[in-house]
């Protein structure tokens, strides 16, 4: 115990469903993670019935399937997404968040790993042609993929955007010279009292070069600088930015 910090953890096997229960510092209720829906759900200490728990899980899986089906119809990570589709995604994400509250998400054993961005409604992200804005600043390149690597033990996070060069462009020769196959933003992260995920960029790396984030890059990275997780399970992570209508939806890579 560290000055009142309770590290109590209980592993239960219930009809083949594994439940890990934590007592979070200062919490008045237990936080539970299931093996299938690892987004924490706050459960009264006397416990909910197993039948009700399975019903909630099945409902969440159905809604998640609806979310993924709609995402499969939206190209280019949400670039110029139709307004009606963007609204539907927000509504679906909120349904998931209501069924499986994400309080205490930072304690989930599934947060760590590598995630790939599937969708965002952030206009700033699309105007920057990616998260870091490298493709916006330099003609002849594109960054069509965003990976987010989360490390929970020391609260580190790295955004990586693989670089695609136009053939025979000047930047393709420069990129090869500095061995820049991707652009990375190395960051740290924390959680504020309201459960918001705060990300702090520390260094930009491109091949053999590295530098502190410049004004434009630092501003570009702010689109993911303060988000609230709405849903987290083994394969999907849904984040909401400070604007209700702006979502970032990731799929697990590893």
pLDDT at 140: 81
- In sequence order, the 6+-apart residues with CB closer than 8 A to the CB of 171 are 138, 139, 140, 141, 165
pLDDT at 122: 97
CA pair distance 173, 163, nearest whole angstrom? 13
pLDDT at 36: 45
pLDDT at 76: 92
pLDDT at 135: 86
pTM of this prediction exceeds 0.85: no
pLDDT at 17: 39
CA pair distance 82, 187, nearest whole angstrom? 32
CA pair distance 18, 27, nearest whole angstrom? 22
- In sequence order, the 6+-apart residues with CB closer than 8 A to the CB of 160 are 146, 147, 148, 149, 182, 183, 184, 185
pLDDT at 4: 43
The residues of the chain scoring below 50 in pLDDT are 1-38, 41-46, 48, 173, 175, 177-178
* Element spanning 94, H or E: helix 83-99
- Pairing between β-strand 147-151 and β-strand 156-162 as defined by DSSP bridges: antiparallel
By three-state DSSP, how is residue 2 classified? strand
pLDDT at 16: 38
pLDDT at 158: 98
Smallest Cα–Cα separation from 231: which of 93, 77, 57? 93
pLDDT at 174: 52
pLDDT at 25: 43
pLDDT at 138: 80
pLDDT at 3: 41
pLDDT at 30: 40
Are the C-beta atoms of 178 and 208 separated by less than 8 Å? yes
Per DSSP, 109 falls in state: T
pLDDT at 185: 97
């Amino acid at each position: 115990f560290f000055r009142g910090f309770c590290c109590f953890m209980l592993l239960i096997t219930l009809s083949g469903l594994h439940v890990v229960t934590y007592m979070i510092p200062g919490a008045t209720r237990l936080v539970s993670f299931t093996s299938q829906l690892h987004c924490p759900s706050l459960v009264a200490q006397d416990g909910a019935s197993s039948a009700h728990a399975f019903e909630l899980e099945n409902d969440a899986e159905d809604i998640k399937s609806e979310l993924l089906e709609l995402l499969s119809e939206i190209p280019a990570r949400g670039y110029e997404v139709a307004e009606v589709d963007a609204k539907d995604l927000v509504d679906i994400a909120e349904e998931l968040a209501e069924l499986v509250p994400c309080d205490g998400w930072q304690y989930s054993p599934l947060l760590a790993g590598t995630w790939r961005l599937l969708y965002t409604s952030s206009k700033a992200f699309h105007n920057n042609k990616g998260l870091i804005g490298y493709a916006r600043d330099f003609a002849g390149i594109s960054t069509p993929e965003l990976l987010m690597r989360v490390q929970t033990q020391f609260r580190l996070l790295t955004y990586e955007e693989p670089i695609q060069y136009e053939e025979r462009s000047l930047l393709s020769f420069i990129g090869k010279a500095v061995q820049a196959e991707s652009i990375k933003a190395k960051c740290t992260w924390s959680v504020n009292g309201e459960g918001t995920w705060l990300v702090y960029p520390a260094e930009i790396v491109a091949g053999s070069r590295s530098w502190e984030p410049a004004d434009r890059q630092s501003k570009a990275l702010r689109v993911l600088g303060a988000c609230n997780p709405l849903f987290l399970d083994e394969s999907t992570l849904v984040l909401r930015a400070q604007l209700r209508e702006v979502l970032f939806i990731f799929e697990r890579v590893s």
